[in-house]
Chains A and B, each alone.
Chain A
Amino acid sequence: MTAAPASPTRQILRDSARLLFLALIPAILAGWLHPKHPVWSWSKPGVTEVNLSEITRWSAPLSWIDARSSAAFQKEHVPGAILLNEDQWEQQLPHFLEVWQPNAKIIVYCDSAACDASQAVALRLQRELNLSSIYVLQEGWASWLQSNP
């Protein structure tokens, strides 16, 4: 007695699974053993990111925080933004608290998608001051410039 031949669909699926499995083995080994394997870094939980078009739909007052360097802020910034970065946190925090309003949504930005200063400042405001309604601007200052050339 001979076994019934597998249907073409099942055969394709089985072959695809085999190929995927074969590709997975060198991928895992390369990621683990290869001399130029990437450095693994697990991202920390972050503050919610929002884009400019979402922000323009909000009716609540906005409180902008510029988390870039003082030099970048002095050159140009979002109108009404407050400078608050971790370089001079202790010096700049009082000024932010002077103007902060509890009903305002806080939006923090840094240079671009590549920087992490906005997430760091937003997380610190949450953790240290227990503030809520904090968001990070997606793509940061670069996206602001794109929308406001």
Chain B
Amino acid sequence: MPLTAPTFFRSLAAFILTALFLPTFCFGTLTWTTQRIELTTKPSEKVATGNFHFVNSGSETVTITSVQASCGCTTATLEKHRYAPGEAGEIKTVFTLGDRVGEQEKSISVVTDESPTARTTLLLHVTIPELLLYAPRLLIWNIGDALGEKTTVISANSNRQIATITLTLPLPKEVTALLEPVEAGMKYKLIVRPVSTTQVMNVSLECVVTFADATSQHCKIYLLVR
């Protein structure tokens, strides 16, 4: 029988639909509202929490056998492990921020008894705004170098305005330092000169930055002679 165009397209459509939905019946039946949560933290927050909601959309009870986070900094908890058909549940994730900054992505692997070898991956994407940027945060002189000055630039991030920036006194006796505005309210340069480079030095300069919204942030620049 010759393969006519309508027959070909009907066969193709049947093939695509079968290939697309066959796995639905082969794998687990938990249906997730979302498998990716995006959060942005506030400066005072210590943790970021996200709840992944699901429903057992199959006809059999599903047992969640394993829930594992990619990082020790993230916990993922379930109220219970067995879910009857039609029953809803959630996985609560808590990400402890620690001293992390910037874009963070933590994954949670979920395994059910319906498909022990197939994992569902949930993603918690957290943006932790970095309030201050340093360029760079470490200044290094070599032993025997001339007593030249080095500069680092401290700038506000996330459209925040710096109201004041002050060096914490007393300064370490091994260096002299000067803070100058580059762009008032946004960017400042810290000019540092060691008193000596004849021996190893390991000190830091600290400063306090107060933003226009009255919040403040400590800053720390490391200075080494090696």
Contact = CB atoms under 8 A, between A and B. Distances in A.
Contact of B120 (A36, A89, A101): A36
A78 B134 CA distance: 31
Contact of B73 (A26, A27, A38, A87): A87
Given A25-B16, A86-B100, A87-B73, A34 B23 contact: yes
Interface stretch (B75-83, B85-93, B136-144, B162-170): B136-144
A18 B136 CA distance: 55
Contacts of A26: 15-16, 19-20
Interface residues of B, number: 40
A102 B140 contact: yes
Contacts of A44: 103
A52 interface: no
A130 B28 CA distance: 47
A115 interface: yes
A72 B71 CA distance: 13
Given A128-B134, A130-B136, A41 B123 contact: yes
A30 B136 contact: no
Nearest to B130: A128
Given A26-B15, A26-B16, A34 B24 contact: yes
Contacts of B100: 86, 89, 120
A22 interface: yes
B226 interface: yes
Interface residues of A, number: 40
Given A36-B27, A39-B36, A128 B99 contact: no
A97 B20 contact: no
Interface in A89-116: 89-91, 93-94, 97-98, 100-102, 114-116
Interface string A119-136: 010000000111100000
A130 B20 CA distance: 48
Contacts of A98: 202
A129 B222 contact: yes
Contact of B98 (A25, A72, A86, A129): A86
A100 B200 CA distance: 12
Contacts of A36: 23-24, 27-28, 120
Contact of B138 (A22, A85, A97): A97
A116 B122 CA distance: 16
B70 interface: yes
6 contacts: A26-B19, A34-B23, A39-B121, A39-B123, A88-B99, A128-B138
Given A29-B16, A86-B99, 16 more contacts: A26-B19, A27-B19, A36-B120, A39-B35, A39-B36, A39-B121, A39-B122, A41-B123, A68-B72, A93-B222, A94-B204, A94-B222, A101-B226, A116-B71, A130-B138, A131-B138
